[in-house]
Structure 1
Amino acid sequence: MSAEVTAADVRAAAARLGLAGRPVCLHSSLSSFGRVRGGADAVVDGLLAGGGTLLVPAQSPVFAAPPPAGHVPLPDNAEDDGSIPWTRPAAGYDPADDAIGPEMGAIARAVLARPGRARGRNALSSFAAVGPLADRLVAGQSAHDVFAPLRELAARDGAVLLAGVGLDALTLLHAAEEDAGLPPLTRWARVAGAPDPVPTRHGSCSRGFERLAPALAHVELTTAAGASRWRAYPAARTLAAAADVFRRDPGAAACGRPDCRRCAVRAAGG
């Protein structure tokens, strides 16, 4: 039987990767660790130890809405991919709320439940953070600037950590696409206090992001915490390296599915 993972184990793994005291964006699967004493909160505690700040994606697709009446489909926006709902949601997004998609996982939910946490203002693809730099990391996020927290992370010598998940979870690669001139998709969301659906930037397909592994191998560091395989990437260097790949080949991370409208747009340079 595998040993139980503790907050101290998480802290030690972070230290091995040089993450102690730094801002870290975590993409994770709690189940990848095996048994964790204290659950998701123990992982959060371990990564915050030493004065660091933890940033997590906190997507909330429940607020997705159809575009306003009279909307004409935007070019290169993959609006026929089935992601746009037909009906308005019952409530609007408020950063003070804890609504989050179940696919975001237990650790992201634990961050949202922390006193004093901060959350960005993109109704579909917000980031949440806890720690000394929490407010600064998410302050620039808006409906239009979805990846502002990741660029702030890069500016502050932060890193991205994949704990038990693959590069298909690495949202930073969407920011690299944008830096390379491949804009995010536009979708619409209901926002508290706004009478009409708000146009909101949202990432494209990420299912093919693992194809960028060779291009990022020179900046990748690895370790493990319990059964969880960790891959860490310095945010600024990873952002620059991936953007160079996308400039050379807009379809470098295409998922390969013939029915993927988002990747068809990317491959065409849209």
Structure 2
Amino acid sequence: MTVAAEVGTADVRAAAERFGLVGRPVCLHSALSSFGRVAGGADAVVDGLLAAGCTVLVPSASAVFAAPPPAGHTPLPHNSEDDGSIPAAPPAAGYDAAGDTVDRAMGAIPRAVLARQGRSRGAHPLSSFAAVGPLAEPLVAGQSADDVFAPLRELAERGGAVVLAGVGLDALTLLHAAEEDAGLRLMVRWARVGDATGPVAVRHGGCSRGFERLAPAVAHLERAGVVGASRWRTYPAAELLAAAGAVFRRDRLAGVCHDPGCRRCAARIAETGGVIETR
């Protein structure tokens, strides 16, 4: 069995050149473990992209700030409020974009970005994006509780790209933005923000476990290769947003998973009035 060589900053920079990412903002969805041995860890990956002139944008979700809805709230139709993601009690503290709290599931690279001096972070308390590099602040400045995907649209407008490093399309948040562009409603949750005592309503994407089914429709946009042991799939953000949006306009259930127990997808099916086979 061939063992991949150790990856370092220079290898990531070379990969950015190979994939045409030099000087562009890049939204990176990643699993550091997929690289194999990395000299310098998560920081080496970030450094390699920065050395190529990229701005590195990463998801930095923080579900710990989720809160129950306000007293007297009437459940919204087709919002999958019974999916188990809404806590019974509010968190002890509120979200602060200056903080570094992030879900463990986001991985090591988002934590490394958040630890960087001069990084910027969006204002969405549950599904923020963080960025470092020359375009960091412009990328995340428009994000709010009501506009969760603003950083991805800014990425697209600035000629950016998305990179999947060792993860699949089910990690690609931009596909939720494409759903929204196609007229599909976002889910609504609540969160504690800053010193506010009452919950704030926020919008975010639903289930993404079925997104790999879109692979054939966006294959013409994909550039794939290997960095160390990590399989990379890169896409131009604007073109991917348009292509995926077209898929969701043709088939509003194109992204649902086939898990009969998925309440988020059940809500999506109910919203569209669709019927889908389970397997």
Partner of 1:212: 214
- CA shift, 1:260, in A, is 1.0
Match of 2:181 in 1: 179
The 2-side partners of 1:46 and 1:136 are apart by: 21
Which of 24, 29, 32 in structure 2 is aligned with 1:30? 32
Aligned pair partner of 2:201 in 193, 199, 202: 199
Q: Distance in 2 between matches of 1:213 and 1:152?
A: 23
Structure 2 distance, partners of 1:95, 1:88, is 18
* Aligned pair partner of 1:160 in 155, 162, 166: 162
Task: Give the match's secondary structure for 2:167.
Answer: coil
How far residue 269 of structure 1 moved from its aligned partner, in angstroms, is 4.2
Pairing partner for 2:46 from 44, 47, 55: 44
CA distance in 1, matches of 2:76, 2:115: 37
1:9 aligned residue (8, 11, 18): 11
Match runs of 1:69-88 below 5 Å: 69-88=71-90
Between 247-256 and 104-113, the greater mean CA deviation after superposition: 247-256
Q: State how 1:253-264 maps to structure 2 within 5 Å.
A: 253-264=255-266
The 1:2–1:50 alpha-carbon spacing in structure 2 relative to 1, beyond 3 Å, is: closer
What runs of 5+ residues in structure 2 fail to find an aligned partner? 273-279
Letter in 2 for 1:126: S
Give 2:135's aligned residue.
133
Q: CA RMSD in A?
A: 0.8
- Supply the distance in 2 between the matched residues of 1:77 and 1:39 (Cα, whole angstroms): 39
SS at match of 1:65: coil
Q: Distance in 2 between matches of 1:260 and 1:247?
A: 22
Counterpart code for 1:206 = S
Paired with 1:126 and 1:217, the residues of 2 have a C-alpha distance of: 28
Measured in 1, the distance between the counterparts of 2:235 and 2:252 equals 22
Deviations 1:113-148 (A, max 9, x none): 000000000000000000000000000000000000
Take 1:2 and 1:144, find their aligned partners in 2: how far apart are those partners? 43
Cα distance in 2 for partners of 1:174, 1:263 equals: 13
Q: Which amino acid aligns with 1:249?
A: D
d(CA) in 1 for partners of 2:232, 2:22? 15
Of 149, 152, 161 in structure 2, the residue corresponding to residue 150 of structure 1 is 152
3-state SS of paired residue (1:267): helix
Question: In structure 2, what is the Cα distance between the partners aligned to 1:20 and 1:35?
Answer: 24
Counterparts in 2 of 1:243-262, with a 5 A limit?
243-262=245-264
Kept in 1, the 8 Å contact 2:17–2:52? The answer is: no
* One-letter identity of the residue aligned with 2:58: V
Which digits, 9 at most, give the CA deviation of each residue in 1:40-63, with x for residues without a partner?
A: 000000011132100000000000
Q: Report if the CA contact (8 A) 1:187-1:199 is conserved.
A: yes
Count of residues paired in the alignment: 270
Q: Which residue of 2 aligns with 1:229?
A: 231
Query: Structure 1 regions of 5+ residues with no counterpart?
Result: none
Is residue 140–residue 148 contact of structure 1 (8 Å, CA) maintained in 2?
A: yes
Describe the SS at the equivalent of 2:74: coil
CA distance in 2, matches of 1:136, 1:261: 35
Report the equivalent of 2:92: 90
Residues in 1 aligned to 2:125 and 2:230: alpha-carbon distance in whole angstroms: 30
Aligned counterparts of 1:3 and 1:261: Cα–Cα separation in 2:
43
TM-score by length of 2: 0.95
Paired letter, 2:180: E
| Length-normalised TM-score, structure 1 | 0.98
Counterpart contact for 2:16–2:52, Cα < 8 Å: no
Query: Cα 1:218–1:268, aligned 2, differ >3 Å: closer, same or farther?
Result: farther
Residue 119 of structure 1 corresponds to: 121
| Amino acid corresponding to residue 180 of structure 1 in structure 2 | A
